Amino acid sequence: MPGHIVSSYDADLENLRRSISEMGGIAEKMVTEATDALVRRDATLAQAVIAADKRLDTLQHEIEERSVLLIAKRQPLAIDLRETISAIRVSGDLERIGDLAKNVAKRVVAISDQAVGQKIILGVQHMSDLAEGQLKDVLDAYGSRDVKAAQDVWERDGEIDALYNSLFRELLTYMMEDPRNISFCTHLLFCAKNVERIGDHTTNIAETIQYLATGETPTGDRPKNDASNYATVTPGQG
Amino acid sequence: MPGHIVSSYDADLENLRRSISEMGGIAEKMVTEATDALVRRDATLAQAVIAADKRLDTLQHEIEERSVLLIAKRQPLAIDLRETISAIRVSGDLERIGDLAKNVAKRVVAISDQAVGQKIILGVQHMSDLAEGQLKDVLDAYGSRDVKAAQDVWERDGEIDALYNSLFRELLTYMMEDPRNISFCTHLLFCAKNVERIGDHTTNIAETIQYLATGETPTGDRPKNDASNYATVTPGQG
């Protein structure tokens, strides 16, 4: 942001942006690799995802500290203040996305030696591909401050929820067919739930981009399609 | 905080504290009532919990806006800056706790017409009682700025995780015994997971109290006992 009298201030903001961008890259990679590990039941790759989360936590911690310090030292106003607040918010969401990907990876380790229906795993993969695409788009939108692109991401969150909803019913039916499916299907249920929540945090980032640009956070209801909280399935109706 | 030259600044901070306290009261009530609704399978009470979440969202939104405005207008330093940042963090955690309680309430609605084993529900209740107690203690600690009490809460999070872990295995076993248990047990699994996450957000608040008092956030590992990510149960081994 050229035009500031204090040029080290621009450098501070630029550093924040760079750290957010590094966090975004790590989070994206973790989500992709957690899904790959699940599809291939690859415990080694899953362990790598679990290990990657440490760096994300460190970065978030640093960004938060540097943002607070920046507010205290530079007393930014208007757009610069929003830039700093947004950095805190986005780093928080990326840290949570990393946690969720790590949780998927832990469950891959748990089910890596079990016979698992590949069809049902492909359902989780499909959902995860969608979440990955959304995350990539929202990070691009954050980098280019593209409110329109952020709005598109925001509107598409309902697709992930709808997929989760149908997967939830499918997994329940699968469990009822054979009790030997229960253990890994439960883990897959939580994997799917984690991916759905990755979608929620992606939507949070889309809202932060709007706040960054306009100073307003969207207050309307999100386009939710998640009815799984209310869903029940009865044996024999599958 | 007497001693400020600008007395309306004290009023701003006091207003922030009052709003956090209101949020805390609502969140506590939601957690208690969501559990009561679950134990009694009371869909009406569950609907009241779901409705209460709106006020929590509004308050969080207000606190965040007022905090940002406060930082921008008053440019607080040191302890006052930490007070404002802490208000943003704590309101974020309380809003998430409300979401999690609302999610439990939605699942109560889903299973309200099903025959559900009371023993297994009591397991969730026991966990939830512990989480409620922790939440109450951390809110008291925040009100009185009691770092020692916050540290106690922080150290006790492992108890909730341990309970969740044993409940997870119990629910899986119950599902394997009879496929008719699968649907409601799945909802109970998510209820238990939500309560476990309420415990995590309570621990976040404990960390914020430490940050508020000292300017440092604890960086060590939390006392985690959650092995359920890795847990599997085989039919016939229950």
Residue A96 lies in a domain: yes
Q: In whole angstroms, what is the distance from residue B127 CA to residue B16 CA?
A: 31
Report the pLDDT value the prediction gives residue A223, as an integer from 0 to 100: 64
The string of pLDDT tens digits covering residues A157-195 is: 889 999 999 999 999 999 999 998 998 999 999 999 999
pLDDT over 90 at A220, yes or no: no
Tell me the residues of B at the A interface, defined by beta carbons under 8 Å apart: 61, 68, 71-72, 75-78, 81-82, 85, 92, 103, 106-107, 109-111, 114, 172, 175-176, 179-180, 182-184, 186-187, 189-190, 193, 217, 219, 229-235
pLDDT, tens digit (0-9, with 9 covering 90-100), for B172-229? 999 999 998 998 999 999 999 999 999 999 999 999 999 999 887 766 666 666 667 7
A82-125 confidence digits (pLDDT tens)? 888 899 899 999 999 999 999 999 999 998 877 777 888 999 99
Spatial distance between the Cα atoms of A105 and A115, rounded to a whole number of angstroms? 17
% of residues, chain A, pLDDT over 90: 63
A230 CB neighbours in chain B (<8 A) are 106-107, 109-110
Is A80 within the bounds of a domain? yes
For residues B176 and A176, give the distance between their C-alpha atoms in angstroms, rounded to a whole number: 9
Q: How much is the pLDDT for A37?
A: 96
In a domain, A190, yes or no: yes
Inter-chain touch B232–A184, beta carbons under 8 Å: yes
Look at residue B64 in the predicted model and tell me its pLDDT.
Answer: 85
Of B10, B23, B43, B22, nearest in space to B110 by CA: B43
Q: A40, A111 in Cβ contact below 8 A?
A: no
Residue A212 within a domain:
yes
Q: Taking CA atoms, what residue in A is nearest to B190?
A: A190
For all residues of chain B together, what is the average pLDDT?
Answer: 88
Number of helices (H), then strands (E), belonging to chain A: the values are 6, 0
Task: Give the residue numbers spanning the domain of A113.
Answer: 7-230
- B112: in domain: yes
On whether residue B237 sits in a domain, the answer given is no
Q: Which amino acid is at A81?
A: L
Q: Which CATH number characterizes residue A157's domain?
A: 1.20.58.220
DSSP tag of B143: H
Name the DSSP class of B180: G
Read out DSSP for A6-20? SHHHHHHHHHHHHHH
Q: Is residue A48 a part of any domain in this protein?
A: yes
Q: Do B233 and A183 touch (CB under 8 A)?
A: yes
Smallest Cβ–Cβ distance between A179 and the set B75, B179, B217 belongs to B179
Instruction: For residue A163, give the nearest of A228, A98, A221 by alpha carbon.
Output: A228
Using an 8 Å CB-CB cutoff, list chain B residues near A96.
none
pLDDT(A152) > 80: yes
Round to the nearest angstrom and report the end-to-end CA distance of chain A: 58
CB under 8 Å to A150, separation ≥6 — which residues? A138, A141, A142, A205, A206, A207, A209, A210
Q: Which residues contact B178 (CB under 8 A, 6 or more apart)?
A: none
What residue has token string 């399935």? A233
Number of structural domains in chain B: 1
Cβ separation A110–B232 shorter than 8 A = yes
H-helix segments, chain B: 7-40, 43-74, 78-111, 118-144, 147-177, 182-214
Residue A24 forms part of a structural domain = yes
Regions of chain B short of the pLDDT cut 70: 1-6, 218-227, 230-238
> Is 0.95 exceeded by the ipTM?
no
> Which of B110, B179, B190 comes nearest A176 by C-beta?
B179
